[in-house]
Amino acid sequence: MRRDTFQAIADPTRREILNMLAGKPLNINMVAARFNVSRTAVYKHLKILMECGLIEFRQCGRLRYCEAHPEKLTEIAEWLESYRRLWTDKLNKLEGYLNEKSAKNKPS
């Protein structure tokens, strides 16, 4: 199954993992220690993030480190930006309409 960035950030645990990794790479045990679930459950979240290209695993001796690649979030930022522009335009038009209506209804 092909996963996308939107699926990755849909889960609050995965968003928290991304926040953790944004500061610095962490090994899998360090990530798992911050959650009250099994290491296997955390690893499944990490695997989804990796499949989406948001993190990368790097071997360093016996430890595997997770490193964030937040540039992949640009897909989401671009999608959100199109909706921000759309709604900003609609709200500006509504504001103009309401201002016009208000000006017509003011007593002279």
Return the percentage of the chain with pLDDT > 90, whole number: 74
- Is the confidence at residue 1, as pLDDT, over 70? no
* Nearest alpha carbon to residue 69 among 103, 13, 18: 18
Per-residue pLDDT, 7? 87
- Return the CATH number of 5-70, one of 2.40.37.10, 2.70.98.60, 1.10.10.10, 3.90.1300.10: 1.10.10.10
Any bridge partners for residue 27, and if so which? 65
As a whole number, mean pLDDT of residues 47-62 equals 93
Give me the chain's average pLDDT, please. Answer: 91
- What is the average per-residue pLDDT within 16-24? 94
Q: What is the pLDDT of residue 108?
A: 63
pTM: 0.75
pLDDT digits (tens, 9 = 90+) for 93-102: 999 999 998 8
Residue 58 pLDDT > 90, yes or no?
Answer: yes
Of 64, 12, 25, 20, give the one whose Cα is nearest residue 43.
64
Altogether, the residues listed in the chain come to a count of 108
